[in-house]
């Protein structure tokens, strides 16, 4: 797996689908109420700032993954411990995302199916794809992004012509001022999903054209931010703010309003299939990072040998991460968002950035003194 190469188009599609992830169907940015779309755009700007940090570190260590250059920056022992923390965090993040998927399936299409069966099937397919390598995942993404765009075009067209869109639900602009917008954009909309792009520091060393990494990353980030902002504004325009706030999966309710010609209805399957695709890639990339982090930290020769055992851990974590949906959402907003996202997406990368800059400064000073 670690010797595989991915193309620019494969990296872009994986980044874009990853960014859609769960944010596409949940009440993303609704803390800003009618101005949720603006909060998401500001969160995207925050994501661009984080991108600058991640990309700088990648350029300093283009052939190493995050766990590798953490040891270079912090030293062998402290860097190893920080790398292990990232591995645990990625495992936990993949389990939480998988739990989101299981919750949607239970509430929409498979209410009589045990969560165990849904999550276990998901994990087995994911392990099989990653056993074949990251290049296979990239080629799979190139196929599924076409399906995603087709679903998006059809779904949006049907919602727009259904007559349920009411732009008055988005007015007035800045009804509650800037405070709810800023508090929603920072940190929630910034970290989910834009800060999570940190995971691609594990994939960039596989890129066959490293010089295009910056353009690819920024293009995927901006495009996904614009689409997420539009989707949230569409949910509010169709359902209204209060219903979006109450709904666990507002996009499901939005598409459920479509009834045309007395036979075009019950289009929930479009959202479910979309969510299945985006979550599959999001969980897979989180999981891949965790596996490659373990390979790097423990100096394993064969990554495939730990894929299935690690998948079993993710499966059991997804079953026990929360007892119900309310607890799961509360945990995500109050614990993950502050106590995990801020350290892993901001504080540790910032420290690595400053240490690297200071170290490069002193290296340049030594070179100049030796020359003179």
One DSSP character per residue, 12-46 reads: HHHHHHHHHTTTTTS-TTGGGGGGHHHHHHHHHHH
Average pLDDT over residues 269-294: 94
**pLDDT of res. 369:** 62
Rg of the chain taking only CA atoms, in angstroms: 21
What is the rounded CA–CA span in Å between residue 153 and residue 369?
62
Average pLDDT over residues 56-77: 94
Give yes or no for a contact between 267 and 258, defined as CB atoms under 8 angstroms apart: yes
The residues facing 133 across adjacent strands are none
The closest of 255, 337, 278 to 24, measured between CA atoms, is 278
Average pLDDT over residues 159-184: 89
126 vs 335, more confident: 126
Domains in the chain (CATH in brackets) are 8-371 (1.10.4160.10)
The closest of 289, 347, 278, 280 to 91, measured between CA atoms, is 289
Integer CA distances (angstroms), 149 to 155, 227, 232, 278, 281, in order:
10, 11, 17, 12, 16
**pLDDT of res. 236:** 93
Evaluate if residue 255 carries a pLDDT over 80.
Answer: yes
**pLDDT of res. 148:** 94
Evaluate if residue 372 carries a pLDDT over 60.
Answer: no
**pLDDT of res. 370:** 64
Give yes or no for a contact between 38 and 175, defined as CB atoms under 8 angstroms apart: no
Evaluate if residue 330 carries a pLDDT over 60.
Answer: yes
**pLDDT of res. 367:** 65
What is the rounded CA–CA span in Å between residue 368 and residue 226?
46
362: how many CB neighbours lie within 10 A of its CB? 9
**pLDDT of res. 1:** 46
Helices of type H across 162-302? 179-183, 213-239, 241-246, 250-256, 268-298
Evaluate if residue 49 carries a pLDDT over 60.
Answer: yes
Share of the chain above pLDDT 70, in %: 95
**pLDDT of res. 269:** 84
pTM over 0.85: yes
175 vs 71, more confident: 71
What is the rounded CA–CA span in Å between residue 291 and residue 1?
10
- The kind and range of the H/E element at 266 are none
Evaluate if residue 100 carries a pLDDT over 70.
Answer: yes
174: pLDDT confidence band, cut at 50, 70 and 90? confident
321: pLDDT confidence band, cut at 50, 70 and 90? confident
The closest of 92, 82, 90 to 285, measured between CA atoms, is 90
Per-state percent for the chain, helix, strand, coil, to nearest 5: 80, 0, 20
Q: Range with the lowest mean pLDDT among 175-189, 203-217, 262-276?
A: 262-276
171: which DSSP letter? -
Q: Quick one: CA torsion of 195, 200, 204, 205, rounded to 10 degrees?
A: 120
**pLDDT of res. 290:** 96
What is the rounded CA–CA span in Å between residue 18 and residue 196?
9
Average pLDDT over residues 318-333: 76
302-305, long-range: CB < 8 A, 24+ apart: 303/1, 303/2, 304/1, 304/131
């Amino acid at each position: 797996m670690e010797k595989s190469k991915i193309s620019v188009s494969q990296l872009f599609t994986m980044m874009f689908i990853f960014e859609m992830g769960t944010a596409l169907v949940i009440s993303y940015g609704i803390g800003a109420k009618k101005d949720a779309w603006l909060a998401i755009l500001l969160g995207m700007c925050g994501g661009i700032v984080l991108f600058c940090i991640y990309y700088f570190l990648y350029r300093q260590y283009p052939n190493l993954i995050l766990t590798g250059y953490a040891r270079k920056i912090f030293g062998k022992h402290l860097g190893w411990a920080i790398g292990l923390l990232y591995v645990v965090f990625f495992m936990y993040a993949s389990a939480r995302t998988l739990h989101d998927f299981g919750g949607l399936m239970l509430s929409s299409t498979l209410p009589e199916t045990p969560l165990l069966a849904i999550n276990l099937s998901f994990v087995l397919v994911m392990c099989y794809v990653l056993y074949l390598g990251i290049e296979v995942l990239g080629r799979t993404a190139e196929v599924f992004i076409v399906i995603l765009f087709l679903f998006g075009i059809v779904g949006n067209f049907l919602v727009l012509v259904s007559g349920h869109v009411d732009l008055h639900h988005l007015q007035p602009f800045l009804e509650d001022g800037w405070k709810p917008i800023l508090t929603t954009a920072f940190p929630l909309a910034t970290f989910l999903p834009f800060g999570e792009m940190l995971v691609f520091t594990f994939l960039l060393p596989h890129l066959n054209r490293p010089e295009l990494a910056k353009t690819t990353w920024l293009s995927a980030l901006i495009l996904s931010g614009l689409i997420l902002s539009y989707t949230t504004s569409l949910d509010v325009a169709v359902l209204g703010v209060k219903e979006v706030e109450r709904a666990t999966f507002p996009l499901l309710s939005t598409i459920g309003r479509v009834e045309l010609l007395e036979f075009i209805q019950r289009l929930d399957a479009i959202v479910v299939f979309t969510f299945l695709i985006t979550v599959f890639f999001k969980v897979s990339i989180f999981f891949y990072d965790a596996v490659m982090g373990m390979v790097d930290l423990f100096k394993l020769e064969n990554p495939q040998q730990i894929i299935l055992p690690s998948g079993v851990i993710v499966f059991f974590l997804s079953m026990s991460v929360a007892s119900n949906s309310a607890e799961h959402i509360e945990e995500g907003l109050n614990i993950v968002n502050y106590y995990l996202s801020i350290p892993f997406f901001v504080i540790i990368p910032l420290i690595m950035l400053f240490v690297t800059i200071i170290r490069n400064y002193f290296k340049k000073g030594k070179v100049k003194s030796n020359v003179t």
